Structure 1
């Protein structure tokens, strides 16, 4: 439920807004008992990880020349 709620909550937001969504907001909205707080932490962690991966891939495609690449365009 936590991950599902998190994805619904961040849908349509910017990456920065999504990244700033806290697990405490999810836990409060879903009235999670203390024993289930780890679920909201996992949801927050998964979103942050996905955003990091997205940014990493975007950086690689916008700057394709990396150290060790051979430039044959000449």
Structure 2
């Protein structure tokens, strides 16, 4: 299977890899997948009082497409607001990375993680 240049770029040079303190009131954390299924993504966002995403990061376990999808999402989230982040879609990932049909689950996982991160920070009540 040949991966797109975009997948290879994000896999070989991932953006915004890291970890934030999930107990901070302005940090939302979302996870999707599991080690048992072979793919796990954690997305974190740091949000200003105005609901603007100031920073984002990810950690991922899985294939190259899983890592590329998480990197793409973390980069995409930069400087968005929570409303925009809540609209993040797996189809955006599929199109941007030109994922092969057998790797669509990677895009779905990252969408789930982003939505969980948004919900996490909203549930903290600061936004």
Q: TM range, normalised to the smaller chain?
A: 0.7 to 0.9
Q: CA RMSD in A?
A: 1.4
Alpha-carbon displacement from aligned partner over 1:4-62 (angstroms, at most 9, x marks no partner): 101101111000001111110111110000110000100010010011010111x2x68
- TM norm structure 2: 0.45
TM superposition score normalised by structure 1: 0.75
The structure whose residues are more often helix, as a share, is 1
Aligned to 1:15: 82
Largest Rg, 1 or 2? 1
Match of 1:29 among 96, 102, 127: 96
Using the alignment, how far apart are the partners of 2:76 and 2:97 within structure 1? Answer: 12
Q: Greater strand share, 1 or 2?
A: 2
Q: Which runs of 4+ in 1 moved over 6 A?
A: none
In structure 1, the gaps of 5 or more residues are 63-74
* Aligned residue pair count: 60
